[in-house]
A and B are shown apart, each in its own frame.
Chain A
Amino acid sequence: MELVVATSIGGLTAAGIYLILRLRAFPVILGVTLLSYATNVFVFASGRLAVGLPPVLTDDATAYTDPLPQALVLTAIVISFGMTAVLVLIALGAFLENGNDRVNVEDERAGEGDA
C-alpha cells in the first residue's frame, strides 16, 4: 500500500510539474491542480497510512488514525480551490485582454506580430 501511495504522489507530481512548465495558462492551471492533489496526499500520508482505524473517538477503539494531517489537508483542499479560482480568472482576463493565454512575457513580445 505504501508503494502505491508513494507512486501516486510521484506520478501526480511529475505530471503536475510537466504541465506547469507548458507555455499556456490552461495547462499550467491543470498542473497546479495536479500538484495540489500530490501535495495534499503527501501531507496526509505524513500521518502514516492506516486502514480501518476510526477517525472518531469511540469507547471500543484501541488505535486511531492521525487526525492532525487530516485537519491540515482539509483546509488546504478548500484554500486550493480559492487559489485555483483566482488563477483561472487571471488567465481568463489575460486572454480576453491580449487575445492569447501565453504565460511568458517574452513570448508575448515575440508573438505580437502574429496576434
Chain B
Amino acid sequence: MVSASGLLPVMVLLPFIGALVPGLMIRAGRNACATFTAIPTLLALILLGVMAPDVMNGGTVTARIDWLPGLGLNANFMLDGLGLLFAGMILGVGLLIILYARFYLSGDDPMGQFYTYLLLFQGAMLGISVSDNILLLLVFWELTSLSSFLLIGYWKHLPEGRQGARMALTVTGAGGLAMIAGMLILGNIAGSYDLSVILQHGDEIRASEYYLPALILILLGAFTKSAQFPFHFWLPHAMAAPTPVSAYLHSATMVKAGVFLMARMWPVLAGTEAWFYIVSTVGLITMVLGALIALFKDDLKALLAFSTVSHLGLLTMLLGFGTPMAATVAVFHIINHLTFKATLFMCAGIVDHETHTRDIKRLGGLASLMPITALIAVVAALSMAGIPPLNGFMSKEMMLEEVAHTHWWGGTWPIIIVATVGAMLSVAYCFRFIGHTFFGPVRDDYPHHPHDPPAGMLAAPAFLAVMVVAIGLFPSLIAGPIVDVASAAVTGDTAEHVHLKLWHGVTPALIMSIVATLGGAFLLWLHRPLDRVWLSTPRPEAKAIFERLVAVVERASLRFTEITHNGAISRYLAIFTVATIVLGFAAYSGGGMAPPTRGLLPVPPLVAVGFVLLMVATAAIVTMHRNRFRALMLTSVIGLMVSAGFVYLSAPDLALTQITVDTVTVLLMLVALHFLPKDTPSESPTILKVRDGAIAVAAGAAVALLAYSFLLRDVSTISDYHLANSYKGGGGTNVVNVILVDFRGYDTYGEIIVLGIAGLTLYALMEALLNGPASRTLRNWTFPPDRSQDRHPVMMVVATRVMMPIAVLVGVYIFLRGHNLPGGGFVAGLVMSIALLMQYMASGFGWTQERKRFEYHSMIGWGVVVAGLTGAGAWLAGAPFLTSAFGYFTIPPFEEFELATAMLFDLGVFLTVLGAVMLMLYSLSRLARYAGETVNLEPMDYDPSRRFEAAAEVNDKKDGH
C-alpha cells in the first residue's frame, strides 16, 4: 500500500526554513529563540503524526519531485516503518533537547547560532531518514557531517572543541566520500538510484562481482559515522561540544545514521558471508573495546561516549548476524538506547552544571544533595546495565539470546564468551557511573555546591526516564507496534512478529546475563587496583596518531604545492602551453583525417599586401617589444589588418566592433603606459629566449595547421536554423544581431553583466590603489620636463566639437539599423564612447566632466536592468525569458517601420557597453589627477584672445633682466 503525500518534502524542509529564524530572533531573548526553534520541530512532528497511521498500517508514504532526472538525482522521499522510527526519534528528542538547551546554555553563549545549527542538523538527519534516492541521501549525509562540525565546534574558544570538530569532520567526511563511491556502484548494478528500486534488486546485487567493493565502501561510510572500530576515536573527542549537542548527536541521531544506513541497506547487502564476518566482527570488537575503555574513564561524558561506542558496536553486531530476528532486536535496542543514553547525557550535563566538574574522582554522594537528578540517572543507568524490569534489560536479553545461536569463527562458544565479557564490562561501568557519582560519602570539596536544577532542565530527562520504565513494564503496548513496522521495513517483511516481554523463562541468555551482572559488580569492587594497572599499561593514543597522520599529509601537500606552485607565472604558462601542444598532437596522431572537401579561395593582391603588413607588424612586435610605445602602435596595425580581413571575409559587424574596440584599447593602454616604465629591460638569458621561441613556434605551427585543416573541410552547422528563423522568429534580417539579442540572448545578457562587473571592478581596484601604498608613489610623481605645454590644441578642440553631434548621430544610426543591417548595441555603445572620449582628450577632463549628465555606474546598472526587464517582459506573454516580440507600424508621413522588443534589449546592451567603457577610462584617468596633473575648467590651456597679454608679460620679464 503506497500513498503519495506532499507533506513529506514539507516536513523535511521545515527545519531548514526554520533554521533561518533563530539567528534573527536572538535579539528577542532566549525564550523567544528557543520557542521559534521548537515551532518548526513541532510542526514537522505533527506532519509526521498525520502520516504515521498509514505507515503503522503497513503502508508507505512517498513523494516524488524530479530534480535532475538526467543524472538519476531526484528529490524522492519515502516514509516507511524504519523512516518513521528515525524521524520520530529525531524530532521527538529534538524537542526535548531544545527545551534542555534553553536552560543549559549560559547567557554568554550565542544561542541564536546554536539553534540555527541544531535545526540545520535536524533537517539533514530527517532527510537521511526519509530519502528514497541514494544520491539525495548522500547530500543529506554530507550535510550532517557539516552541520555536526558546527555543533561540535560550537564553543569556538575551546581548543578541544575545534580539534574535536575537525577530527569528526575529517573522519566522517572521509567515510562519506567512500560511501559516495559505494552508492554509485550500487546504483549502477541496480540500474537506478532510487532506494525503493534498489531494495528490489537484492539478489542481483549480492551476485554482482562489484558487490564486495560496494559493500566495503558503503560500510566505510557507516562505520566512520557510527564510530566503529578502528574509527571509534573521533566520538569521545566530539564530547567537547555542549552537553545538549552530545545528548542529541550521540544518542538519537548522528551516530545512529550509520546504523540506520546498515539497516536501510540490510535487505540488499546482508546475508552474505562477507557481510556477516565484517559487520558482526567489527561490531563485537567495538562493543567490548568501548565498554573496556569506558570502565576506566573518569570524565562522565567520556564514560558515556565510550559506552555509546560500545552500544553502537552491539547494534552493528546484531545487524551483522543477518537474521531477521537479530535485526528486530537491533531495532528494539535502538529505541531503548535512545531513551537511556539521552537521559544519562542530560544528567551528566546537570551534574557538570551544578558541581562544575565531570570528574568522577571528584564526585560522589550526590544522591542526597540532588535527589531527583540522582533518581533519574539511576533508573537510566540501571536500564543501560540491563537490570530488570527496565527496557535495557529486555533488548540485552534478546541480544544475548541471538548471540547464543550464532556460529562465529568455528562455533557458538567464542562469541558467547566475548559477548558476555562485553556485557560484564558494560554492567561494571554502569554501576561505576551510579556508585561513584551519586553514592558514597558526601564530600565537602565540590568546586560548586550542588542542588537540583530548575524544573525546565529536569523535564526532558525525567520524561525519558519515565519512558525507560514504561517500555520496561509494558513493552508490547508502547514499543511493540513501532518495532513491528520498523523491523518489517528493515527485513523486507521477513521478520516474524515478536512478542516483547520481560520474562522468557530460564534461557541461556538469562544465565549469561546473571553472570555478566555478578561479574560486573565484582569488577567494580576491584576497580581501584584495576585502574592502577590500566593507567600503567601503555596504550595507543588515538588523538596523537591522528594528529601525526594529519601533520604528515599536511607536510606532503605543502611540499607538493611549493614545488608546483612557486609563483613563477611564466613557468606555469610554459608548462600549460607545452602540455596543450602534446595533448593536441596525441589527439592528432590518434585519429585519421577525412580528405579535404573544399578548394582554396584565390588571394587578390590587396589581401596579399594586408597579409604582409600583418606578418611584418607581428614579427616587429616580437623583435622590438622592449620599446613599449612602439610595440603598442604596432598592435594597432595588426588590429587594423584584422578588421580589414573581417570586411573582406563578409563579416562587417565584426569589422565595426574590432576597429572601435581597438581604438578604446589603445587609448586605455596609452593612459596606463604613462605610469609604467617606457622600456622593458633585457633580462632573459638567451637560453630562455630560445626555449620560449621554440615553444611559441611549435604552438603557432600547431594552431595554423589545425586551422588550415578545418578550413579545407566542410562542416554541418546549426546556423541554417538561425538563417531560416531570423526574420520569421526574430523579426530581423541581420542574422548576427538577431543571434545576439534573440537566439542567444541569454549569453549576451550574461556577457554585458560580465562587462559591467569588469567596469566596476576597475573602479573599485583604482579606489583601493589610490588609498594604498601606491598613493605615496603617485603623490611624489614627477612628470617629464619635455611634455607638451599645449595640452588642448585649439584645432583639436574645434574639430571634436564639430564632430561630436555627427559622431552621436552615427552612433544612433548604427544602433537603430542594427536589427536589419550591420551594427547594433555593442558597436553603437563603442562609437558613442569614442565620441565622448574625444571630448575628454581635446577639451580636457574638467570641462567635459562638468557637462556630463549621467553617472557611468548607474548607466551600467540601467543597462542591465533594461535588458533584464525586457527579457522578463516575455513572461507576461507567457513565453520563456528573453523571447522577443515585434510588429510593424505606420505613422504618416513616415514609411512603415518595425518595433521589436529585441531593440529594447539592445538598448540595455548599448547602455552597459557605454557605461563600462567610460567607467574604465574614467577610473584610469584618476591616476593622472592624483599624481598632480591639473584639470582645466576652460576648454583650452591657451586662450588666443589673451595672446597679447601673454606676450606683454613675456616682454616684461625680459625687461626685468
> Is B772 located at the chain interface by the 8 A CB criterion?
yes
**Which of B611, B654, B821, B927 has most chain A Cβ within 10 Å?**
B654
A73–B639 CA distance with the chains assembled, in angstroms: 14
| Residue-wise interface mask of B (762-777) relative to A, using a CB-CB cutoff of 8 A (1 in contact, 0 not) | 1001101100111001
Task: Using known A-B contacts A34-B618, A85-B762, A96-B774, determine if residue A5 contacts B638 with beta carbons closer than 8 Å.
Answer: no
Q: Which residues of A contact B622 (CB under 8 A)?
A: 15, 18-19
Given contacts A50-B649, A75-B740, 9 further A-B contacts (CB under 8 A): A4-B611, A10-B707, A22-B680, A24-B680, A27-B625, A70-B736, A90-B765, A91-B676, A92-B672
Verify A77–B657 contact, CB threshold 8 A.
yes
Verify A45–B717 contact, CB threshold 8 A.
no
Verify B618–A15 contact, CB threshold 8 A.
yes
Q: Which residues of B contact A49 (CB under 8 A)?
A: 601, 649, 711
Residue of A19, A70, A78 near B651 (CB, 8 A) is A70
**Which of A18, A27, A33, A65 has most chain B Cβ within 10 Å?**
A18
Residue of B566, B601, B703, B778 near A38 (CB, 8 A) is B703
Q: Which of B367-375, B382-390, B718-726 contacts A (4 or more CB under 8 A)?
A: B718-726
| Residue-wise interface mask of B (730-762) relative to A, using a CB-CB cutoff of 8 A (1 in contact, 0 not) | 000111100110001001100100110011011
Verify A30–B625 contact, CB threshold 8 A.
yes
Verify A11–B614 contact, CB threshold 8 A.
yes
A105–B820 CA distance with the chains assembled, in angstroms: 51
Verify B635–A33 contact, CB threshold 8 A.
yes
Task: Using known A-B contacts A7-B704, A74-B736, determine if residue A34 contacts B696 with beta carbons closer than 8 Å.
Answer: no
Q: Which residues of A contact B755 (CB under 8 A)?
A: 78-79, 82
CB distance from A85 to the nearest CB of B (A): 5
Q: List 12 A-B contacts (CB under 8 A).
A: A2-B598, A5-B711, A6-B704, A6-B707, A11-B704, A33-B635, A57-B735, A68-B719, A75-B826, A81-B917, A83-B758, A85-B668
| Residue-wise interface mask of B (561-580) relative to A, using a CB-CB cutoff of 8 A (1 in contact, 0 not) | 00000111111011001000
Task: Using known A-B contacts A1-B601, A20-B573, A57-B726, determine if residue A15 contacts B621 with beta carbons closer than 8 Å.
Answer: yes
> Is B899 located at the chain interface by the 8 A CB criterion?
no
| Residue-wise interface mask of A (89-115) relative to B, using a CB-CB cutoff of 8 A (1 in contact, 0 not) | 111110111010101111100000000
Complex: chain B residue closest to A4, CB-CB: B611
CB distance from A60 to the nearest CB of B (A): 13
Residue of B601, B673, B740 near A2 (CB, 8 A) is B601
Residue of B635, B657, B715 near A34 (CB, 8 A) is B635
> Is B25 located at the chain interface by the 8 A CB criterion?
no
| Residue-wise interface mask of B (133-171) relative to A, using a CB-CB cutoff of 8 A (1 in contact, 0 not) | 000000000000000000000000000000000000000
Residue of B625, B657, B777, B920 near A22 (CB, 8 A) is B625
Task: Using known A-B contacts A12-B618, A22-B570, determine if residue A48 contacts B715 with beta carbons closer than 8 Å.
Answer: yes
> Is A62 located at the chain interface by the 8 A CB criterion?
no
| Residue-wise interface mask of A (29-58) relative to B, using a CB-CB cutoff of 8 A (1 in contact, 0 not) | 110011001101110111111111111111
What range describes how many residues of A lie at the interface?
35 or more
Q: Which of B772-790 contact A (CB under 8 A)?
A: 772-774, 777-778
Task: Using known A-B contacts A13-B703, A22-B625, A58-B733, determine if residue A89 contacts B762 with beta carbons closer than 8 Å.
Answer: yes
> Is B323 located at the chain interface by the 8 A CB criterion?
no
Residue of B577, B821, B830 near A17 (CB, 8 A) is B577
| Residue-wise interface mask of B (667-682) relative to A, using a CB-CB cutoff of 8 A (1 in contact, 0 not) | 0110011011100110
Q: Which of B659-713 contact A (CB under 8 A)?
A: 661, 664-665, 668-669, 672-673, 675-677, 680-681, 683-684, 692-693, 695-697, 699-701, 703-705, 707-708, 710-712
> Is B628 located at the chain interface by the 8 A CB criterion?
yes
Residue of A41, A74, A80, A81 near B653 (CB, 8 A) is A74
Q: Which residues of B contact A17 (CB under 8 A)?
A: 577, 692, 695-696, 699-700
Verify B650–A51 contact, CB threshold 8 A.
yes
Complex: chain B residue closest to A76, CB-CB: B751
Verify B683–A23 contact, CB threshold 8 A.
yes
Verify A14–B654 contact, CB threshold 8 A.
no
Task: Using known A-B contacts A47-B719, A58-B733, A96-B769, determine if residue A74 contacts B740 with beta carbons closer than 8 Å.
Answer: yes
CB distance from A92 to the nearest CB of B (A): 5
A61–B611 CA distance with the chains assembled, in angstroms: 29
Verify B675–A96 contact, CB threshold 8 A.
yes
Q: Which residues of B contact A48 (CB under 8 A)?
A: 598, 711, 714-715
> Is B658 located at the chain interface by the 8 A CB criterion?
yes
Verify A104–B700 contact, CB threshold 8 A.
no
Q: Which residues of A contact B765 (CB under 8 A)?
A: 86, 89-90, 93
Verify B653–A4 contact, CB threshold 8 A.
no
Q: Which residues of A contact B614 (CB under 8 A)?
A: 8, 11-12
Q: Which residues of B contact A106 (CB under 8 A)?
A: 566-568
A53–B916 CA distance with the chains assembled, in angstroms: 34
A10–B697 CA distance with the chains assembled, in angstroms: 8
Verify A30–B675 contact, CB threshold 8 A.
no
Verify B723–A11 contact, CB threshold 8 A.
no
Verify B736–A71 contact, CB threshold 8 A.
yes
Verify A73–B673 contact, CB threshold 8 A.
no
> Is B632 located at the chain interface by the 8 A CB criterion?
yes
> Is B602 located at the chain interface by the 8 A CB criterion?
yes
Q: Which of B514-534 contact A (CB under 8 A)?
A: none
Q: Which residues of A contact B886 (CB under 8 A)?
A: none
Complex: chain A residue closest to B691, CB-CB: A21
Task: Using known A-B contacts A9-B703, A85-B920, determine if residue A21 contacts B574 with beta carbons closer than 8 Å.
Answer: yes
Task: Using known A-B contacts A22-B625, A104-B567, determine if residue A92 contacts B668 with beta carbons closer than 8 Å.
Answer: no
CB distance from B685 to the nearest CB of A (A): 11
Q: Which residues of A contact B277 (CB under 8 A)?
A: none
CB distance from B26 to the nearest CB of A (A): 41
CB distance from A105 to the nearest CB of B (A): 3
Q: Which residues of B contact A5 (CB under 8 A)?
A: 645, 649, 707, 711
> Is B796 located at the chain interface by the 8 A CB criterion?
no
Q: Which residues of A contact B715 (CB under 8 A)?
A: 46, 48
Q: Which residues of B contact A16 (CB under 8 A)?
A: 696
Verify B707–A45 contact, CB threshold 8 A.
yes
Residue of B654, B677, B773, B916 near A97 (CB, 8 A) is B773
Q: Which residues of A contact B717 (CB under 8 A)?
A: 47, 66, 68
Complex: chain A residue closest to B664, CB-CB: A81
Residue of A10, A15, A57, A68 near B739 (CB, 8 A) is A68
> Is B808 located at the chain interface by the 8 A CB criterion?
no
A6–B709 CA distance with the chains assembled, in angstroms: 9
A56–B603 CA distance with the chains assembled, in angstroms: 24
A53–B847 CA distance with the chains assembled, in angstroms: 47
Complex: chain A residue closest to B641, CB-CB: A8
Q: Which residues of B contact A51 (CB under 8 A)?
A: 601, 648-650
CB distance from A83 to the nearest CB of B (A): 7
A95–B927 CA distance with the chains assembled, in angstroms: 13
Complex: chain A residue closest to B612, CB-CB: A4
A27–B669 CA distance with the chains assembled, in angstroms: 12
Complex: chain B residue closest to A26, CB-CB: B628
CB distance from A90 to the nearest CB of B (A): 7
> Is B52 located at the chain interface by the 8 A CB criterion?
no
Residue of A6, A30, A73, A96 near B711 (CB, 8 A) is A6
> Is B822 located at the chain interface by the 8 A CB criterion?
yes
Task: Using known A-B contacts A12-B618, A75-B751, determine if residue A27 contacts B631 with beta carbons closer than 8 Å.
Answer: yes
Complex: chain A residue closest to B566, CB-CB: A106
Residue of A44, A77, A82 near B758 (CB, 8 A) is A82
Verify A91–B621 contact, CB threshold 8 A.
no
| Residue-wise interface mask of B (856-882) relative to A, using a CB-CB cutoff of 8 A (1 in contact, 0 not) | 000000000000000000000000000
Q: Which residues of A contact B177 (CB under 8 A)?
A: none
Task: Using known A-B contacts A8-B614, A48-B715, A56-B821, determine if residue A91 contacts B654 with beta carbons closer than 8 Å.
Answer: no
CB distance from B340 to the nearest CB of A (A): 60
Q: Which residues of A contact B650 (CB under 8 A)?
A: 50-55, 65
Q: Which residues of B contact A56 (CB under 8 A)?
A: 733-735, 820-822
Q: Which residues of A contact B638 (CB under 8 A)?
A: 12, 34, 37
Residue of A23, A30, A86, A105 near B761 (CB, 8 A) is A86
